[in-house]
A and B are shown apart, each in its own frame.
Chain A
Amino acid sequence: MPLVAVSDLVKVYPGGIRALDGISFEVAAGETFGFLGPNGAGKTTAIRILVTLLKATSGTATVDGIDVAAEPHEIRQRVGYAAQFIGLDNDLTGRENLVLQARLHGVARAEAERRAGDLLEVIQLAEAAERRAGTYSGGMRRRLDLAQALMHRPRLIFLDEPTTGLDPQNRRAMWEYLGGLNDQGVTIFLTTQYLEEADELCDRLAIIDQGAIVVEGTPAGLKAGLGGDVVAVTIPTGEPPELLARTRQLLAAVPGAGETKAYDHSVAVYLPDASARLASIVRELDAAAIPVEKLELAHPSLDEVFLRYTGERLRVEEVRRPSRVLRGSGRRGRG
């Protein structure tokens, strides 16, 4: 039985915006499953329905066989959730924030303190534990927020854009931490607009765009589905267009070649196992007297997968929470 099972989920917001247009998918226990898509694709809506913060318009979603709409209380005990917008009490210390979350999940005081101590070590906040969360940097806040979601030891956690706003170093550290968590058997459901993140973390992912899942699979499978590697030949500028056409013909004729695409001065061809054919391609280009400025071999990235299935490049945007009015306390800046 899948840990998460979603069937034909639809969410229409008041005002008629159709955020989810009938999505269905499953997540197996122990997996890291990801939703990859641009802002406004419906990622957050889906996750908020699964963690019981939002009601679906129609369709069903179950976690551990329990319907999220029918028994939200049961779901809340079982899952952890770190939202895209970090939720911390700026006036409490890091430790107090963790203990508060555990206590709200019914963990006894002493046990909550013990777990907080352990987790603060793991997320490398032990030294800052007695400082107010309002003084933390962006990376520290992210880590503390994640730790909050783990205090009641859920077997399944939902992470909405867990590294948005982090610098590359902190992002890498977060990936390592999430990898370790998954190794311990925690099932992770995450959303991301970063292709490298989906590639790095996810066992399986679904590309979601405009409220619908456009394609689903393993990162490797999705990339292989494009028709293998890409070989691109660039000819010098100033050469006649006829030369580009000849280059394209030559590449299309390579055994096993898939689709070819011509750009201004270059031609690309999808080719399974391109490394093994590179030498013969070079010889053929030479024999045909085609001048080559550049010869490139690329393994397809999820970027290309995304482009193929949605028709556009993935635009990464950072959404800011509406500014806080009247709090006037600059010292509580969120980093």
Chain B
Amino acid sequence: MLRTAGEVRVLWGRNMVKTVRVPILLFFSLFQPLIFLLLFSQVFAELDRLPGFPYDDYLQFLIPSIIALTALNSAFQSGMGMVTDMEDGLLDKFLISPIHRYSILVGRVLSDGSRIVVQALVIVGVAYVMGTRFETGLAGLAVIVVLAALFGMAWAGLSNIVALLTGNAELTMVIGILVTFPVLFLSTAFMPAVLLPAWLDVVSAWNPITYIVEALRALVNDGWDWGAIWESLAVTALLAVVTFTGATAAFRKAIG
């Protein structure tokens, strides 16, 4: 057990060195959420005047969604890193060393989580400068960042499934975008539930992203809504079980 923790730490450390050394890895998944933040906060600024819109300010409503979007985007980098390791012959190097197979996946996803923490903090900083106020203060910010990172890690399992099954970085990215966008817009990320059409309201209730966005939104705007927080943690855990079961199976298949 202790041995396995050591392996994971070594692999995590190696991924983090890469992230620091190739900063594009850090900013790659940050550009698009930042652009969305700047665009949506202007284009949809007047949405908050709609009758029934539950928040006074669209920006306050939007920020948690942008943090969730960042986590999703970043998660899909995970599989691309896996493909790079396969192509560079590094996966083989890991596989011939006497480490637990699962450590490779865990080390990767933990470094994804670490990257998401940094990225979420960047979004929070930009949001603060734009005038967003965080109701739960610094403690709330810490929880926001951790929730986003955990959700991103669960989502990264999905990215690794695609990566391991296709062995193709391009496909991993394209499929990531194809999955992320509908799932994102079919949630309450950009429109409150009360303003969604009835059928979408039902769909969004089955969408894991809705739960993470609602929890983050509560922490930014309303205070410590423990119900929403535990709900998002439960949904994240459930998602993680599904994606990691899949990723482990895909991993076994890929390494023969």
Asked whether any CB of chain B lies closer than 8 Å to the CB of A73, the reply is yes
Contact between chains at B98 and A89 (CB < 8 Å):
no
Main secondary structure of the interface of B (DSSP, over half): helix
Contact between chains at A103 and B17 (CB < 8 Å):
no
Chain A contacts for B80, CB-based, 8 A:
326
Q: If the complex has contacts A73-B98, A103-B10, are A89 and B88 also in contact, measured as CB distance less than 8 A?
A: yes
Contact between chains at B168 and A325 (CB < 8 Å):
yes
Asked whether any CB of chain A lies closer than 8 Å to the CB of B14, the reply is yes
Q: If the complex has contacts A92-B18, A96-B17, A326-B173, are A104 and B97 also in contact, measured as CB distance less than 8 A?
A: yes
Q: A95-136 vs B: 1/0 string, CB under 8 Å?
A: 010001101111000000000000000000000000010000
Contact of A53 among B17, B92, B98 (CB under 8 A): B92
A91, B87: Cα distance in complex, Å: 14
Asked whether any CB of chain B lies closer than 8 Å to the CB of A54, the reply is yes
Asked whether any CB of chain B lies closer than 8 Å to the CB of A83, the reply is yes
Which chain B residues numbered 2 to 56 have a C-beta less than 8 Å away from chain A? 3, 6-7, 10-11, 14, 17-18, 21-22
Asked whether any CB of chain B lies closer than 8 Å to the CB of A76, the reply is yes
Contact between chains at B18 and A91 (CB < 8 Å):
yes
Contact of B10 among A100, A321, A324 (CB under 8 A): A100
Contact of A76 among B22, B97, B173 (CB under 8 A): B97
22 interchain pairs (CB within 8 A)?
A52-B95, A53-B95, A53-B256, A55-B256, A76-B97, A76-B98, A83-B89, A83-B92, A87-B88, A87-B90, A89-B14, A89-B18, A91-B17, A91-B18, A92-B17, A92-B21, A96-B17, A100-B14, A104-B7, A104-B11, A104-B98, A106-B98
Residues of chain B having any CB pair with chain A under 8 Å: 3, 6-7, 10-11, 14, 17-18, 21-22, 80, 84, 87-90, 92-99, 168-170, 173, 255-256
9 additional A-B residue pairs with CB within 8 Å, beyond A91-B18, A103-B10, A104-B7: A54-B256, A77-B98, A89-B90, A91-B21, A321-B87, A324-B84, A324-B87, A325-B169, A327-B87
